[in-house]
A and B are shown apart, each in its own frame.
Chain A
Amino acid sequence: MESEWRIFLWTTLSVGLTLSVFSFLYKDNPFYRFTESLYVGIATGYMTIILWYTGLLPTLIDRIWIGQPWWQFWGGKWWYIFPGILGLMMWFRFSKKKAWLSRYPIAFYIGISMGAAIPLEMKNRVNEQLFNTFISPDFSAMAGGFWNGISEIIIIIGVLTGLFYFFFSVPHKGVFGTVAKVGIYTLMIGFGASFGYTVMGRISLFIQRVQTIRDWASTGIEGGGGMSAIVWIFVLFIVLLVLIEMIRHMRKKPTEAV
């Protein structure tokens, strides 16, 4: 029974917070502000701890001191001390005179990341896509017939014109303008399809939240839950919002009179 109550309380809190977030659709209000601060605070604290346990501890501290007292770091992988020092240099940001030292780890980070990213981008976004565009339109019945060939021709035209739209060295006038226009139309058709697809995903997320509320309402607490609980919480919510608005309105009045 006790665990049932516990589940009920946590679920009620979850439903309450969900409704608080949805109340933003009406306007900014204290419920939303409370939930926002709670979420930002918890998320930041949680991520900090996650970073400590999945990042700093296993990849730095545990490697330097493998089950040894802290002063015996030479038994572990002592060379990890150097990236550790780079990390510590970030703390110089708090000193106005030595803040320049924090630029070194940033330079290392960006330099190394870019060095690793450029060949990957060239491979995944240029070479592989280029190779896969080298297609000979196939109208055979085995490949899908006439419409397969047409579809492949559309892909080729779309890729070439879309790419040309991003060519900045010539003004988009005359023939170039027409080609670029076909390119942007192709992109917009693609964006439209993507938009519809993603909105469907969002609607399913919304349905999921509504189902959580519905499940909470239908399970409730034995003998005391049911649909009445959800009705009550909605009513309470709306009454509180109206009260807040009235108080705000009353507070504003004297100012307006002045």
Chain B
Amino acid sequence: MLKHIIMLVLMVGLMTAVGWAQEEGTATDSVVQQTLAAPPTNVQAFDTPNDNGHSITIEWDISADDGQGLNNVVKYLILRSATPDGQFAEIGAATPGATTFKNSGVKDDEDPNYFPRETDFYYTVSAVTADGGAESEVVGPVRGEGQFFDTRNGPVLVGCLLFTIFTIFFIRKAKSGAKLYIRPLAGIDAVDEAIGRATEMGKPILYILGLGSAADIATIASFTILGRVAKKVAEYQTSLIVPCYDPIVMTVAQETVKTGYYDAGRPDAYNEDDVFFLTNQQFAYVGGVNGIMVRQKPATNFYLGKFYAESLIMAETGSSAGAIQISGTDEVTQIPFFVVACDYTLIGEELYAASAYLGGDPTLLGTLKGQDWAKAGVIISIILGIIAAVTGQTWFTELFHVGN
């Protein structure tokens, strides 16, 4: 009996000892697991420069246990509060090794991503390990404020100013009666010839302004050429068809054509329905224009403006319908299609030149000259920039660098 009692006591004692040992082990392990990383230091929060004020940038030095020491940082959490001793909420996370975070949002106060400007905030950064986070000291208050001028765009301002000076100088020169030389362009010389051909054949002229909006530079250049074409059309009493893709482009085109007819002294011949809205779906527009080409058989097709994938489909249909075709766009990917399918193509910059050349207006001529000399400035800058890059003079190349 005693033997059994001793055995029982020994077993209980052994089990208890094992239990204690396990508890002790767990306790030791938990001490190891609960090891936190050192918090990030030198935390700074400041208004993000060169923005609209809806952003604050937070910077810090990495934790002593990030990539070194205990090397147990899994991420950094950025916490924000409206008061220094208030409840800090998590607003974002950064990967180990990161030292900066931008707390930004949109300006629309109805948007869930709204970030208020001119509102004080306090920030803290927490170095997170598997066992928890170690927060840095609280920094703040800091508020986002909008800047009037983005200093990174300095080179853009200088470029715009130089271009404006060139343009004003040449406009004044053109207005003073000085002869400004512009080299002849084959496509431009063909415009009158193409209008004459349509008149002789008694067929209409089709003018496509492209898919651009009324604010696209190519569309604006096209309006000027349209004005000139409309004037000639009115003089020769030919008909003009202008199907439009954009309702505002249509409105401006109507005004342009009307002015052309007035300038030719034939306002009675102007028909507003000749300039009409077709549709603003790209390939539906192509279908409609192709239909006009094969049914009304225009003698001359103009494609001047902004074009995309529809360029070849339209130009090819026009070519198979036997029309003389003059095209021009600044959309580089579409120029090859016009080159192969049209009789004359105005390549990129030539489209802008055409509007000045045909208009003959001193303001436009002066603008073209201004552009030309701005281009000369660009060529000289490239040569100097390459010399600077070869000789390692990076200060010169940086003068042209626009930050993002």
Interface residues of A (CB under 8 A from B): 21, 24, 27-28, 32-33, 35-36, 39-40, 42-44, 46-47, 90, 93, 102-103, 106, 109-110, 113-114, 117-119, 121-123, 126-128, 130-131, 133-137, 156, 159-160, 163-164, 166-172, 187-188, 190-192, 194-195, 198, 202
A190 to B348, CA, bound (A): 13
Q: Can you report 29 A-B residue pairs in the complex whose CB atoms are below 8 A from each other?
A: A33-B291, A36-B290, A36-B291, A39-B281, A39-B287, A40-B284, A43-B279, A43-B284, A44-B281, A47-B281, A106-B248, A113-B214, A118-B160, A127-B159, A128-B402, A134-B385, A134-B388, A136-B389, A156-B386, A160-B382, A166-B353, A167-B376, A168-B185, A187-B347, A191-B336, A191-B339, A194-B335, A194-B336, A198-B333
A158 to B388, CA, bound (A): 19
Q: Determine whether B397 belongs to the interface, using a CB cutoff of 8 Å to chain A.
A: yes
Q: Tell me whether B379 and A119 are in contact (CB under 8 A).
A: no
Chain A: minimal CB distance from B73 (Å):
34
Of chain A, the residue at the smallest CB distance from B159 is A122
Q: Tell me whether A126 and B159 are in contact (CB under 8 A).
A: yes
Q: Which of B3-30 contact A (CB under 8 A)?
A: none
Q: Tell me whether B214 and A106 are in contact (CB under 8 A).
A: yes
A109 to B251, CA, bound (A): 12
Which one of A119, A130, A170 contacts B382 once the chains associate, using CB atoms below 8 Å?
A130
Of chain A, the residue at the smallest CB distance from B109 is A77
Q: Tell me whether A136 and B386 are in contact (CB under 8 A).
A: yes
Q: Tell me whether B353 and A168 are in contact (CB under 8 A).
A: yes
- Chain B residues within 8 Å of chain A by Cβ, number: 66
Of chain B, the residue at the smallest CB distance from A116 is B215
Give chain A residues whose Cβ lies under 8 Å from the Cβ of B156.
119, 122-123, 127
Q: Determine whether B350 belongs to the interface, using a CB cutoff of 8 Å to chain A.
A: yes
Give chain B residues whose Cβ lies under 8 Å from the Cβ of A131.
385, 397, 400-402
Give chain B residues whose Cβ lies under 8 Å from the Cβ of A187.
347
Of chain B, the residue at the smallest CB distance from A199 is B312
Q: Tell me whether A134 and B284 are in contact (CB under 8 A).
A: no
A137 to B389, CA, bound (A): 9
Give chain A residues whose Cβ lies under 8 Å from the Cβ of B201.
none
A202 to B287, CA, bound (A): 17
Chain B: minimal CB distance from A248 (Å):
14
Knowing A110-B215, A134-B386, A135-B389, the reply to whether A168 touches B381 (Cβ < 8 A) is no
Majority DSSP secondary structure for residues of B touching A = helix
Of chain A, the residue at the smallest CB distance from B181 is A169
Give chain A residues whose Cβ lies under 8 Å from the Cβ of B402.
123, 127-128, 131
Q: Determine whether B89 belongs to the interface, using a CB cutoff of 8 Å to chain A.
A: no
Which one of B214, B294, B381 contacts A130 once the chains associate, using CB atoms below 8 Å?
B381
Chain A: minimal CB distance from B317 (Å):
8
Knowing A28-B295, A168-B372, A169-B372, the reply to whether A134 touches B382 (Cβ < 8 A) is yes
Q: Tell me whether B181 and A39 are in contact (CB under 8 A).
A: no
Which one of A39, A135, A167 contacts B283 once the chains associate, using CB atoms below 8 Å?
A39
Knowing A130-B382, A136-B390, the reply to whether A113 touches B368 (Cβ < 8 A) is no
Q: Tell me whether A102 and B251 are in contact (CB under 8 A).
A: yes
Q: Tell me whether B400 and A127 are in contact (CB under 8 A).
A: yes
Majority DSSP secondary structure for residues of A touching B = helix
7 more A-B residue pairs beyond the given contacts A36-B288, A106-B255, A169-B373, with a C-beta to C-beta distance below 8 A:
A43-B281, A122-B163, A135-B386, A168-B185, A168-B372, A171-B183, A198-B336
Chain B: minimal CB distance from A164 (Å):
7
Q: Tell me whether B251 and A39 are in contact (CB under 8 A).
A: no
Of chain B, the residue at the smallest CB distance from A46 is B281
Q: Determine whether B178 belongs to the interface, using a CB cutoff of 8 Å to chain A.
A: no
A192 to B340, CA, bound (A): 10
Chain A: minimal CB distance from B322 (Å):
13
Give chain A residues whose Cβ lies under 8 Å from the Cβ of B278.
40
Of chain B, the residue at the smallest CB distance from A192 is B336
B318-344 interface code vs A (CB 8 A; 1 in, 0 out): 000000000000001101110110000
Q: Tell me whether A130 and B400 are in contact (CB under 8 A).
A: yes
Q: Determine whether B130 belongs to the interface, using a CB cutoff of 8 Å to chain A.
A: no
B146-190 interface code vs A (CB 8 A; 1 in, 0 out): 000000010110011001000000000000000001110100000
Q: Tell me whether A117 and B215 are in contact (CB under 8 A).
A: yes
Of chain A, the residue at the smallest CB distance from B381 is A130
Chain A: minimal CB distance from B402 (Å):
5
Give chain B residues whose Cβ lies under 8 Å from the Cβ of A90.
251
Knowing A123-B153, A134-B388, the reply to whether A113 touches B215 (Cβ < 8 A) is yes
Knowing A90-B251, A134-B382, A191-B339, the reply to whether A44 touches B279 (Cβ < 8 A) is yes
A102 to B388, CA, bound (A): 53
